[in-house]
């Protein structure tokens, strides 16, 4: 059964005549007549009694009612496919690391979906190593994370630096200092993230001291949760400045001397897929602009 003929039948009924339907659909009137005749032949019954005007037969009324969803679904599918090709519609699977996922993405995603309401975005929150693996296995389309290992066949574009500061309980011994170094923290309990966190690995390399005393550390599995444990007086922590707005009650923020702990974040996708197309390409370009703006804000906030 010809879907175009079904749609033509509906337009004839909606517009009240063959001529108007032909004009709207940009068909010759003979084409419209031929489509209806062919449709009636396939069904084996007349749908319309034609004269100067037309009148639906009982079969025509039943066909109009029962085929309405076909026309509606066909129009919806056509619009979806048009949007898919133009990048205005589709489904994008995005992976995001903390703290970007909790402290930056909600506002960014709200702006994106306001501009592209027909694009559906699914977000996976995990560490950089997990997200890299999911990209390689085709489980994600792109990710916001730290740089991948050099041997991976992934494309990485650095866009944002997470600047770290020292967060202290308000009665901590180091609160009298204007700025704190890594060396200053060696004699105090330090709250650290899980072992698979890139920041944790970087911090351990920096703080290693051959022959020195073991560090007094307390592992907290979530970067975003560190500030709450500092609030409780359990120790100091190196925390991204982005998670400290507003400043947690009962804590003191101090600048960290040097930038060894700062972490670079950016957009990651399969090298073979870059530059991304369709809806994923739209999201990639939007995130480029948004993350660069976040980076500029971070540098401004460092003045504290």
The pLDDT tens digits of the residues spanning 233-255 come to: 999 999 998 888 788 899 999 99
Whole-number Å distance between alpha carbons of 181 and 248: 21
Q: Which two tokens stand for residue 209?
A: 């001291």
Minimal CA–CA distance to 73: which of 131, 160, 155, 6? 6
Quick one: pLDDT band at residue 193, thresholds 50, 70, 90? confident
Using DSSP, state whether 126 is helix, strand or coil. Answer: coil
The torsion of the CA quartet 234, 237, 240, 241, rounded to 10 degrees, works out to 80
Residue 72 has, within 13 A of its CA and on its CB side, a CA count of: 6
The pLDDT tens digits of the residues spanning 125-173 come to: 998 989 999 999 999 999 999 998 777 789 999 999 999 999 999 999 9
Predicted model pTM: 0.73
Maximum CA pair distance of the chain? 103
- Give the chain's mean pLDDT: 88
- Span 190-204, mean pLDDT? 82
Q: Which residues of 38-59 are buried (b: 16+ CB within 10 A; e: fewer)?
A: ebbeeeeeebbeeeeebebeee
Quick one: pLDDT band at residue 54, thresholds 50, 70, 90? confident
DSSP string, 160-227: EEE-EEEEEETT-GGGG-SSB-TGGGGGS-EEE--TT-HHHHHHHHHH--TTSPPP-EEE-S-TTTHH
Q: CB under 8 Å to 61, separation ≥6 — which residues?
A: none
Which pLDDT score, from 0 to 100, does residue 242 have? Answer: 87
Which pLDDT score, from 0 to 100, does residue 200 have? Answer: 81
Using DSSP, state whether 280 is helix, strand or coil. Answer: helix
Q: Which residues of 140-154 are buried (b: 16+ CB within 10 A; e: fewer)?
A: bbbbbbbbbeeebeb
Q: CB under 8 Å to 224, separation ≥6 — which residues?
A: 98, 99, 102, 103, 243
Q: What is the DSSP secondary structure assignment for residue 256, as one 8-state letter?
A: B
Quick one: pLDDT band at residue 178, thresholds 50, 70, 90? very high
């Amino acid at each position: 059964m010809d879907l175009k003929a079904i749609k033509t039948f509906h337009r004839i009924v909606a517009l009240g005549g063959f001529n108007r339907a032909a004009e709207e659909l940009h068909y010759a009137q003979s084409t419209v007549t031929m489509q209806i005749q062919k449709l009636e032949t396939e069904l084996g019954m007349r749908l319309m009694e034609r004269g100067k005007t037309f009148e639906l037969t009982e079969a025509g009324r039943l066909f109009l009612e029962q085929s309405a969803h076909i026309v509606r679904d066909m129009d919806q599918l056509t619009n979806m496919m048009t949007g898919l090709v133009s990048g205005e519609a589709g489904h994008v699977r995005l992976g995001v690391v903390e703290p970007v996922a909790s402290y930056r993405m909600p506002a960014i995603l709200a702006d994106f979906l306001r501009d592209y309401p027909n694009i559906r975005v699914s977000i996976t929150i995990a560490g950089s190593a997990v997200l890299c693996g999911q990209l390689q296995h085709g489980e994600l389309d792109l990710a916001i994370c730290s740089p991948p290992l050099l041997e991976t066949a992934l494309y990485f574009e650095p866009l944002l630096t997470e600047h770290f500061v020292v967060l202290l309980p308000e009665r901590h011994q180091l609160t009298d200092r204007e700025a704190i170094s890594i060396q200053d923290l060696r004699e105090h309990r330090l709250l650290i993230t899980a072992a698979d966190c890139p920041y944790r690995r970087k911090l351990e390399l920096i703080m290693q001291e051959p022959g020195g005393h073991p560090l007094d550390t307390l592992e907290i599995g979530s970067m975003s949760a560190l500030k709450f444990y500092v609030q409780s007086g359990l120790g100091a922590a190196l925390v991204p400045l982005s998670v400290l707005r507003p400043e947690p009650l009962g804590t003191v923020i101090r600048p960290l001397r040097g930038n060894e702990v700062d972490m670079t974040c950016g957009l990651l996708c399969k090298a073979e897929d870059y530059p991304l197309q369709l809806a994923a390409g739209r999201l990639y370009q939007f995130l480029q602009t948004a993350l660069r703006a976040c980076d500029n804000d971070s540098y401004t906030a460092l003045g504290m």
